[in-house]
Structure 1
Amino acid sequence: MSDIKEPGFKSSELFARLAEVLEAYTPEEKAKELKKTNGIFEMQIKGASGEVKTWTIDMKKEGKVVKGKPAPKPDVTIIAGDELFLDLAEGRTNGQKAFMTGKLKTKGNMMLATKLDAVLKTAQGELKAKL
């Protein structure tokens, strides 16, 4: 999953781990997760240097993570700083508060954005169980 990692972006490690977990799913597990989530997430992450990189989490058709913009139009775009995204993914920051204070921005289906938390937590839980 080195093609997903990006030097200087701590959150790229999280995207790489999520990609590994999704890749390890059985076809039945993947189908269940796709049905439950049914969305394509475009993640625009701003690094410490100010550079913005994009990752796509496809939980609608393929159940995979790729670096770069989505081929089909995303259902929701989430814009956040690298540290903030990690804090959100690990539960150290409340997404609603981050959104209300302008630290986290979304475009598109905002209700779908709330499902991303479950995707990340499922992947982290399965990753921890394997360790």
Structure 2
Amino acid sequence: MSDLKVEGFKTGDIMAGLSQAISQFSDTERQAQIKKTNGIFELNVKNAEGKESTWTIDMKKKGEITKGPAKPKADVTIMLSDETFVGLSDGTLNGQKAFMTGKLKAKGNIMLATKLDGLLKTAKAKL
């Protein structure tokens, strides 16, 4: 899944790892995670150089991660910096704190955005 990696973005490496973790789920685990999360996340990430890249985490139908905008439309779009996503994924940054301090912005179903944290933790435990 190296097609998820983007030059200059640590998020791409994390997404590749997350995708690998999801691919290691058994069908039962994947269906349970899809049922629990039930949403499509679109992450618009900006790196230190100001470049932007987009990833989609589909935890509604397929249980997969792709590069690029969500198709169909995302339930929640999250805008954040590369560093903020790294902090969220390694657990050094709390998602709600990031949102309250403006490090993370969300459009759409904001309550769904809170489920991303649980998904990251579940995948991290799998790796």
Question: 2:24 — aligned with what?
Answer: 24
Alignment-derived partner of residue 102 in structure 2: 102
Equivalent residue for 1:52? 52
Unpaired runs of at least 5, structure 2: none
Distance 1:80 1:23 in 2: 25
Inter-partner Cα distance in structure 1 for 2:96 and 2:66: 26
Give the TM-score taking structure 1 as reference length.
0.94
Runs of 4+ more than 3 Å apart: none
The SS at the match of 2:97 is helix
Q: In the TM superposition, what whole-angstrom CA distance separates every residue of 1:39-89 from its partner, at most 9, and x where no partner exists?
A: 000000001110110000000000000000111010001110001111011
**Percent identity over paired residues:** 55
Q: State the shift of 1:99 in Å.
A: 1.1
**Mapping for residues 102-121 of structure 1, pairs under 5 Å:** 102-121=102-121
* 2:83 partner amino acid: E
> Residue 3 of structure 1: SS of its match in structure 2?
helix
> How many residues matched?
127
- TM-aligned CA deviation for residue 29 of structure 1: 1.2
Q: Output the TM-score relative to the length of structure 2.
A: 0.97
- Which residue of structure 2 lines up, in the alignment, with residue 42 of structure 1? 42
Match of 1:74, SS? coil
Gaps of 5+ in 1: none
CA distance in 1, matches of 2:19, 2:93: 23
- Residues in 2 aligned to 1:42 and 1:64: alpha-carbon distance in whole angstroms: 12
